[in-house]
Amino acid sequence: MDNFLKKKMKKMKINIKRFKYTILTAFDSIKTNAVRSFLTVLGIVIGVASIILIMSLGEAAENLILGEINQMGAETVVALPGELTDETSIFSDSLTQKDVDALSRTSNVPNLVNIMPAVVVPGELEYLGETYSPAVMLGAEADFFSEVFNVFPNPGSNFTEFDVDGRSRVVIIGSKVKEELFGNSNAIGERVTIKDNQFRVVGVYPQIGQRGLFDMDDLALMPYTTAQTYLLGTNYFHRIIMQADSADNVDKMAYDVRATLRESHGLDLDREDDFDVLTQQGLVDGVSIIVGALTAFLASAVAIALVVGGIGVMNIMLVSVTERTKEIGLRKALGATKKAIMQQFLWEAVVLTLVGGVIGVILGAALSYLASIILSQVLVSGWSFSFPVFAAILGVVVSTAVGLIFGLYPAKKAAEKSPIEALRYE
Amino acid sequence: MALFEVENVTKIFKSGDIETKALKGVTFKIERGEFVSIMGPSGSGKSTLLHILGFLSEHTDGIYKFNNKKFTDFSDEEVARIRNEEMGFVFQSFNLLGRNTVYENVRLPLLYSSIPENEWDGKIKKAIEQVGLSHRIDYETSRLSGGERQRTAIARALVNNPRVIFADEPTGNLDSKTGGAIMDILQDLHKKQGSTVVLITHEESTAEYAERVLHILDGNLDRDFKVEKRRKGSNG
C-alpha cells in the first residue's frame, strides 16, 4: 500500500512538472509569434470585451431605469385608462371624476392618503414672442405635488383648491421653463399664452431636478379642471395618482383600487379591466424582464462572435501545427508521448484564448467605463458605471472553453504525426 | 544477448498506388556496447533501417527485437519511454529549437522523462561539459556554428544517459575538421562509457571510426564486416 502511494505521488509530481513546462512552452511559443498570436485572439478579445460592454451597459441601464422607477415612490399607485395592451391609452376615456370620488371613499380604499387626477396637455407656452414646450405640461393639483413630491414654489405659491374648483387660468412653472421664457426677469404675475388662453404665473419651482414621476425643472402645472375645460375639452383623466399610507400596503391598495374601478365602471366578471394599475414593484419586475431579455439576446449574438473567434484560433493552430511539424517530430523522437504533444498544443490554444479573454475583460471594462463617462455627461444624468463581475467570470470561462474546444482538433492532429515523417518535413 | 536483433525485416512505403520497397529483408544482430556504422549510397535504405532501429518508424514485415522483446509488443507509452530513456538521437540537420538556448535544448528530453527535476541541472551541465560547450550554455542555438550545434545535439542525446546513440550522418553538414571533432566525441562515448553507437554515413572515412560496418545496397544487407584499421580520434 505504501509503495502504491509512493508510486502515485511520484507520478503526480512528474505530471505537475510536465504541466509547468507545458505552460512555459505555450507562453514561449505565443511570445515568439506575438503579432500573429495577438491577431489570432483578436476575435476572442473583441467577443469578450463585447460581453463585458453589453452586460455593463445593460446593468447600468437597468439601474438607471430602476432608479427612475424608484423615484416614483414606493407608496405611489397610478391608475391609467385603457387596457394594458392598448397603446392609445392616453386618449382612452375610462377614468373620470366619478372614479376619483369612488377611490376617495375610505370604505373602498382604506389605505389611501392622497389622490390626484391628472391630464397631460400637449403644447407650448408663449411669453412676449418667446415660446417653449416643457417636457411635461400637466393639469393636476399643486398641493398634492407639495405633499407627495415635497416641492414648493419659490418664488410664488401653490394654486389652491379654489383655483381647481373655479377652473382658474393659473400656472406653476419649473426653473428651466422660467429661464427659457423670462430669463432673469421676474415671472410671478406675468401672463403666458397656452393655446390662445392667457395663464397667470403664480409660482416657480426651485431647481431640484427629478422628483417622483416628474422633472420638476422642466414642467408646467395648472389645475386639471382648467386644462380639461380650456385646453383639452374633455372630462376624463389620463392618470389618477394615489399615495398609500405605507409602502407595505401598496399591493393591498392596488388591489382595492382595481376592485373599486371595476365596480365604478360596472365591469362584469367576464370583462377585462379597461384601466391599468401600476405600482413601483410591478414596474421594477417589468423592466427587469425586458432588460434581462435584451441582455440575453445580445449575449447570444456575442456567443456567435466567440464561436467565430474560436474557428480563427483553430485555423491558426492548424497552421502552427503544420509549421512546427519538425518540432513535433523532434519532441516525439526525444520521448514525448502522443498525450504530451496533445497537451502541449491544447494548452497553447487554451493559454492563447485565456490571455485573449483576460485582455477582453480589461478592454471591455475600460470601454464600459469610458461609455459610462460619456453617457453620464452627454446623454443621461444618473448613468453610473457598473463592472459586471459575473460577465467577467463568464468571459474568461467561455474563452478558455473556446480554446479547449477549438484547440482539440489541431492538438490531435499534432499528436498523431509520425515522428520520422515529421522530422523529414521541410 | 544482443541489444538489437533484426530478422528478415522489410519496409514498404506506399504513396498512392506506388509501393517502394526500401528494405527487402535484412537480418543482423548488434551487441551491447558495439560501435556500428551503417553505410551505403543515398537511397540504399540505410536511414530507413536506422529509423526502424530507433523506434521512429515501424517495419512492414519480419521480426525486430530490442532488448529481446519484439517491437510489435511494445505499447505506445513504452515506445515513447524507450526513445526517451534508452536511445539518444543525433541528426544530420541537428534539429535543435533555434530560439532556445543550449541549456534548454539539452533539457528537452528530461521534460518527458521520469527523472526528478532536482537532478536535471546536474545532468544538463554534465552533458554540455562532455561535448565541450560549457562556455556557450546560455547561447541561443541559432547563434552557434555548425559544429557547436551538433555538439549541442550530442549533449541532448547524452543527457538521459541512454544505452544507445543513433547518429544519422552527424558530420554531413560539417566541414571535415569539425566533423572529425564530432566523431571524436562519439568515439569517446563508446570507449569511456561503453555506449552502443549506431552511425549512419556514406563516407568511408567516417565509417572507419566504428568497429563494424553494415553495408546496405538497394535495400539489402550487402556486406557485414569488422573494421581492421580503425581510425583513431585525435584524442584517442
Three-state DSSP class for A301? helix
What are the cell numbers at B220?
539489402
What local confidence, expressed as pLDDT, does residue B232 receive?
64
Least confident of A252-261, B53-62, B103-112: A252-261
Least confident of A3-17, B140-154, B182-196: A3-17
- Which of A331, A337, A420 is the closest to B76 by Cβ? A337
Helix or strand holding residue A117 (H, E)? strand A112-120
Three-state DSSP class for B19? strand
Q: Measuring CA to CA, which residue among A407, A405, A399 is closest to residue A317?
A: A407
CA dist., res. B23 & res. B49, Å (int): 8
Higher pLDDT, A17 or B89: B89
What local confidence, expressed as pLDDT, does residue B90 receive?
92
Q: Is the peptide bond before B170 cis (omega within 30 degrees of 0)?
A: no
Residue of B nearest to A324 (CA): B97
- Which of B76, B111, B114 is the closest to A338 by Cβ? B76
Q: In this prediction, does ipTM exceed 0.85? A: yes
CA dist., res. B177 & res. B229, Å (int): 20
The pLDDT tens digits for B117-146 are 889 999 999 999 988 999 999 999 999 998
- What is the nearest CA distance from B134 to chain A, expressed in angstroms? 22
Q: Measuring CA to CA, which residue among A335, A320, A327 is closest to residue B93?
A: A327
CA dist., res. A7 & res. B109, Å (int): 21
Q: Where are the beta strands (DSSP E) in A191-296?
A: 191-194, 197-204, 210-211, 214-215, 219-223, 239-244, 275-279
Q: Do B111 and A18 touch (CB under 8 A)?
A: yes
Q: Is A239 exposed, middle or buried, given 0-12, 13-18 or 19+ CB atoms closer than 10 A?
A: buried
Q: Where are the beta strands (DSSP E) in A151-256?
A: 170-173, 191-194, 197-204, 210-211, 214-215, 219-223, 239-244
Cβ count near A19 (within 10 Å): 12
pTM comes to: 0.69
Best residue in B23, B49, B56 to probe A by mutation, most A CBs within 10 Å? Answer: B56
Q: Which amino acid is at A349?
A: A
Which chain A residues are within 8 Å of B100, Cβ to Cβ?
Answer: 28
- Which of A18, A28, A333 is the closest to B89 by Cβ? A333
Residue of B nearest to A33 (CA): B99
- What is the nearest CA distance from A424 to chain B, expressed in angstroms? 10
Q: Which residues of chain A have pLDDT under 50?
A: 86, 88-90
What local confidence, expressed as pLDDT, does residue A89 receive?
47
User: Is the distance from CB of A238 to CB of A72 less than 8 angstroms?
Assistant: no
Q: What is the mean pLDDT of residues B149-175?
A: 91
Which chain A residues are within 8 Å of B80, Cβ to Cβ?
Answer: 332, 335-338, 340
What local confidence, expressed as pLDDT, does residue A382 receive?
64
User: Is the distance from CB of B6 to CB of B64 less than 8 angstroms?
Assistant: yes
Residue of B nearest to A14 (CA): B114
| Interface A-B: count of C-beta contacts within 8 A | 63
CA dist., res. B219 & res. B49, Å (int): 9
The pLDDT tens digits for A14-42 are 677 778 888 888 888 888 788 888 888 88
Which chain B residues are within 8 Å of A338, Cβ to Cβ?
Answer: 76, 80
- What is the nearest CA distance from B230 to chain A, expressed in angstroms? 30
Q: Do A335 and B99 touch (CB under 8 A)?
A: no
The backbone torsions φ and ψ at residue B132, rounded to the nearest 5 degrees and listed phi first, read: 70, 45
Q: What is the dihedral of CA A364, A370, A371, A375, to 10 degrees?
A: 160
What local confidence, expressed as pLDDT, does residue B236 receive?
43
Q: Across all residues in chain B, what is the average pLDDT?
A: 90
Q: Measuring CA to CA, which residue among A269, A242, A236 is closest to residue A256?
A: A242
Q: Do A337 and B112 touch (CB under 8 A)?
A: yes
Which chain B residues are within 8 Å of A324, Cβ to Cβ?
Answer: none
